[in-house]
Amino acid sequence: MTLSTQMKRKAEKPASKREETVNLGNFDKVISTGSTLLDLAISGGRVKGGGLPGGIFVEIYGQESTGKSALACEISGNIQRAGGEVIYDDPEGRIDSQYAMMYGVHLNEKNYHQSNTIPQVFAPIRVWEPENKAINGIIIDSLAALSTDLEMEEGDKMGGRRGKEFSQELRLTCRIIKQKNYLMVCTNQIRDSFATMGPKHESPGGRAIRFYSSLRLETGFAFKNSKIIKAKTINDKEYSRVIGINIEVKVIKSSVWKPYYSAPVSIIFNYGLDNTRCNLQFVKDTTKAGTYVLGGKKLAVSMDDAIRLIENDNLEDQLREEVIDLWTEIESKFDSNRKPKR
């Protein structure tokens, strides 16, 4: 038997039992971040429309006031809308029920906690048994506010114990998150470290958070037009107000699909993520029309008028599908088209 024949027969053999049980990711169901473009940046090449799969630990970190809590709340609300349960741990004690309801998040004495220490957050996760088959979520906002027993009782000026406890608790917990298909989303602050040459942005908590996270998202203000300003003429006088912010979310690390994608996200005060605004801008920027269009038809000249038309006619889903199709078409031009490895 020639070598080429042996290789051909080997290639034709059915996959072994070990190969058949390889976990390729829990993409049967996904949870939206609330942003179509961010969903696509996270996993648009794995599943149509992208999104967050179950069974992963996600860190959302960035400077203050860059939308971390807004993203966490939006994801939490989408988990509940999909039939899942949520544990919302708020070590900073900043989330109130009215703010949460803006994102469709229902908090009560059973699912809302204000933990002080790292073990208080992670230990209950390992014994949690939700009574459904949906993706259930654990939201922690934020990791930076958590202390250790040593720090609470005696003080831990160097913070060494903190990193060790994160490492220990994540090592014990991440396998359970995978096995039970939980989606764990944690926010974290960003701090400047001068331990190496020049300043380096790092999220606190030691290396364990970066190591165990399947997905790391960094939030920051958009380079241009970070403020969303609305102007009105009242009694022949011009008034303007900042009604929201534009941020950029970067995929820094990903075991879900590919890293180094980014997405614009608009957040309107007292409303939340404005997915329609970002989707309209994407269509405008990526089509020859150069204006706000849907299905090839011009909607309006201004963004506000285009949003009003979309919402009045309940066209949000149609707009989302058009964005997905446009994004997928663009990405197809970057396919490697390489011969699959065997």
As a three-state string, the secondary structure of 38-100 is HHHHHHCCCCCCCCEEECEEEEEEECCCCCHHHHHHHHHHHHHHCCCCEEEECCCCCCCHHHH
Asked whether residue 21 is assigned to any structural domain, the reply reads no
**pLDDT score for 300:** 87
Q: Are residues 297 and 151 in the same domain?
A: no
**pLDDT score for 12:** 45
**pLDDT score for 17:** 41
Domain boundary among 255, 273, 291: 273
Q: Are residues 287 and 229 in the same domain?
A: no
Number of domains in the chain: 2
Q: Are residues 284 and 268 in the same domain?
A: no
Q: Are residues 187 and 312 in the same domain?
A: no
Q: Are residues 252 and 288 in the same domain?
A: no
Burial pattern 105-138, b for ≥16 Cβ within 10 A else e, equals bebeeebbbebebbbbbbeebeeeeeeeebbbbb
**pLDDT score for 11:** 43
Asked whether residue 3 is assigned to any structural domain, the reply reads no
Asked whether residue 339 is assigned to any structural domain, the reply reads no
Asked whether residue 203 is assigned to any structural domain, the reply reads yes
Q: What's the domain range around 204? A: 26-273
Domain boundary among 231, 258, 273: 273
**pLDDT score for 68:** 96
**pLDDT score for 156:** 52
Asked whether residue 315 is assigned to any structural domain, the reply reads yes
One-letter amino acid of 236: D
* Cα distances (Å, whole numbers) of residue 14 to 5, 7, 18, 20, 236: 16, 14, 11, 10, 77
Q: Are residues 133 and 240 in the same domain?
A: yes
Predicted confidence pLDDT, tens digits, the chain (342 residues)? 443 444 344 444 443 443 333 334 578 899 999 999 999 999 999 999 999 999 999 999 999 999 999 999 999 999 999 999 999 999 999 888 889 999 999 999 999 999 999 999 999 999 999 989 899 999 999 999 998 865 655 555 545 688 899 999 999 999 999 999 999 999 999 876 555 554 455 677 788 999 999 999 999 999 888 999 999 999 999 999 999 999 999 999 999 999 999 999 999 999 999 999 999 999 999 988 788 999 989 998 899 999 999 999 999 999 999 999 999 999 999 988 888 888
Q: Are residues 265 and 297 in the same domain?
A: no
Burial (Cβ within 10 Å: 0-12, 13-18, ≥19) of residue 328: middle
Asked whether residue 328 is assigned to any structural domain, the reply reads yes
Q: Are residues 42 and 77 in the same domain?
A: yes
Domain boundary among 225, 250, 273: 273
Q: Are residues 104 and 238 in the same domain?
A: yes
List the CATH number of the domain containing 250.
Answer: 3.40.50.300
| CA gyration radius, the chain | 23
Asked whether residue 11 is assigned to any structural domain, the reply reads no
**pLDDT score for 28:** 86
Asked whether residue 95 is assigned to any structural domain, the reply reads yes
Helix axes 275-286, 303-312, angle to 10 degrees: 120
Q: Are residues 193 and 253 in the same domain?
A: yes
Q: Are residues 82 and 216 in the same domain?
A: yes
| Tokens standing for residue 336 | 């490697």
Q: Are residues 280 and 209 in the same domain?
A: no
Residue 282, SS3 per DSSP? helix
CA distance 36 to 48: 11
Contact 173, 221 (CB under 8 A): no
**pLDDT score for 96:** 86
| pTM as predicted | 0.88
